[in-house]
């Protein structure tokens, strides 16, 4: 049963949303919406390259030290298809810096900000088929906002450059994956840009699509939605999760949103950054069932139930 062995993150210095008004071309009304309504305050930004950011996250992973030879798979979870200019491949630089000579290297994308959960499922599948009970997979999640398109999602969120490193085993003593569900409500032409038409359709299906994957993941886990002790969402904005809480029949205090104002929306790294924070705060008890959930551009929705 797929298990989290260790999780670490690298959160760069932050800038205030107000200081991003001119660079992002925001008007005063948009700044007020992002800060007062959506709960965004400060956004992780860094002068480091994508590879340097990923290495910084992985180097904080205590469970990796001395276990490099056990890492069979190095998986890059990308919120965006392109995260570096051609022909740069940051993952190869990371692999060399971490001395992961025995690791097969691959990337997963096209699930937007739900790609981190896809990478967890891929890692579990690969490890289950590997045959070596000591094999590990290392997932690196998060994106560098190196183009204007990646820096913010209009009227939705502002993107941060926090990164997460997730060490995964085929089995373990805690944090087992109990259920996973993913659905894509995409377009035949593959367009993910939030044009007014696409944004309107995204808003129309968002809450129902999210509830559907949460229901499917909890059903696979053998529990009801009401049995979820804590929700670790992606940090898109406060409003979407307030509505989701009501739609799912869960109290607002089961949604961990403390990092939303402190980091911005760090693509598919958010649920894992939130996991690290809640474990450091002691908010998860042995046996607790917690939910990681996210939605991404292209109308991709995912949910994963784990047991601490």
Distance CA 290, CA 308 (A): 8
Q: How confident is the model at residue 148 (pLDDT cuts 50, 70, 90)?
A: confident
Mean pLDDT (the chain) is 93
Q: Taking residues 9-20, report their average pLDDT.
A: 96
| Four-point Cα dihedral 111, 114, 115, 118, nearest 10 | -100
**Closest Cα to residue 240, out of 202, 184, 290, 212?**
202
What pLDDT, in 10s, does the model give residues 243-267?
Answer: 999 999 999 999 999 999 999 999 9
120 or 200: whose pLDDT is higher?
A: 120
C-alpha 139: how far from chain center: 11
Out of 26-35, 43-52, 74-83, 118-127, least confident range = 74-83
* Best CATH choice for the domain 176-307 from the list 1.20.1250.20, 3.40.47.10, 3.10.20.520, 3.10.450.50: 3.40.47.10
Task: Quote the pLDDT of residue 10.
Answer: 97
Is pLDDT of 296 > 70? yes
Helix 196-221, helix 238-248: angle, nearest 10: 50
- Strand (E) positions, 152-299? 152-153, 157-158, 163-169, 176-184, 230-233, 289-296
Q: Taking residues 82-103, report their average pLDDT.
A: 88
* Best CATH choice for the domain 3-169 from the list 1.10.238.10, 3.90.1150.10, 3.40.47.10, 3.30.70.920: 3.40.47.10
Q: Taking residues 183-194, report their average pLDDT.
A: 72
Q: Taking residues 82-102, report their average pLDDT.
A: 88
Q: How confident is the model at residue 288 (pLDDT cuts 50, 70, 90)?
A: very high
Q: How confident is the model at residue 304 (pLDDT cuts 50, 70, 90)?
A: very high
Distance between start and end Cα atoms, the chain = 13
Is pLDDT of 225 > 90? yes
Q: How confident is the model at residue 150 (pLDDT cuts 50, 70, 90)?
A: confident
What pLDDT, in 10s, does the model give residues 28-71?
Answer: 999 999 999 999 999 999 999 999 999 999 999 988 989 999 99
Q: What is the pTM of this model?
A: 0.94
Task: Quote the pLDDT of residue 155.
Answer: 83
Q: Taking residues 90-113, report their average pLDDT.
A: 93
187 or 299: whose pLDDT is higher?
A: 299
- Strand (E) positions, the chain? 3-10, 14-16, 42-44, 71-77, 104-108, 136-141, 152-153, 157-158, 163-169, 176-184, 230-233, 289-296, 300-307
Is pLDDT of 82 > 80? no
- Strand (E) positions, 142-274? 152-153, 157-158, 163-169, 176-184, 230-233
Say if CB 225 and CB 214 are below 8 A apart.
Answer: yes
Is pLDDT of 85 > 80? no
With a CB cutoff of 8 Å and minimum separation 6, the contacts of 213 are 181, 182, 183, 293, 301, 302, 303
Which residues of the chain form CATH 3.40.47.10? 3-169, 176-307
């Amino acid at each position: 049963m797929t298990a989290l062995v260790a999780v670490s993150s690298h959160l760069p210095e932050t800038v205030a949303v107000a200081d991003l008004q001119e660079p992002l071309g925001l008007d005063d009304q948009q700044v007020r919406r992002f800060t007062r309504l959506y709960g965004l305050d400060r956004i992780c930004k860094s002068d480091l390259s994508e590879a340097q950011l990923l290495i910084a996250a992985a180097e904080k992973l205590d469970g990796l030290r001395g276990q490099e030879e056990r890492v069979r798979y190095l998986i890059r979870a990308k919120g965006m298809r392109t995260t570096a200019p051609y022909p740069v491949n940051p993952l190869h630089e990371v692999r060399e810096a971490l001395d992961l000579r025995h690791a097969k290297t691959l990337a997963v994308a096209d699930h937007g900000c739900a790609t981190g959960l896809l990478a967890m499922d891929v890692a579990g599948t690969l490890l289950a088929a590997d045959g070596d009970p000591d094999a590990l997979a290392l997932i690196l999640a998060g994106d560098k906002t190196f183009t204007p398109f990646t820096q913010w999602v209009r009227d939705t969120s502002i993107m941060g450059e926090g990164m997460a490193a997730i060490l995964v085993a085929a089995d373990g003593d805690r944090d087992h994956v109990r259920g996973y569900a993913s659905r894509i409500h995409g377009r035949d032409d593959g367009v993910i840009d939030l044009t007014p038409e696409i944004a309107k359709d995204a808003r129309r299906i968002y809450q129902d699509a999210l509830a559907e994957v949460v229901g499917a993941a909890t059903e696979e886990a053998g529990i009801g939605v009401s049995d979820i002790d804590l929700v670790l969402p992606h940090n898109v904005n406060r409003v979407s999760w307030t509505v989701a809480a009501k739609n799912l029949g869960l109290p607002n205090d089961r949604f961990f949103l403390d990092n939303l104002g402190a980091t911005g929306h760090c693509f598919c790294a958010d649920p894992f950054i939130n996991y690290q924070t809640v474990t450091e705060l002691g908010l998860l008890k042995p046996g607790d069932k917690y939910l990681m959930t996210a939605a991404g551009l292209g109308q991709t929705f995912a949910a994963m139930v784990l047991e601490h």
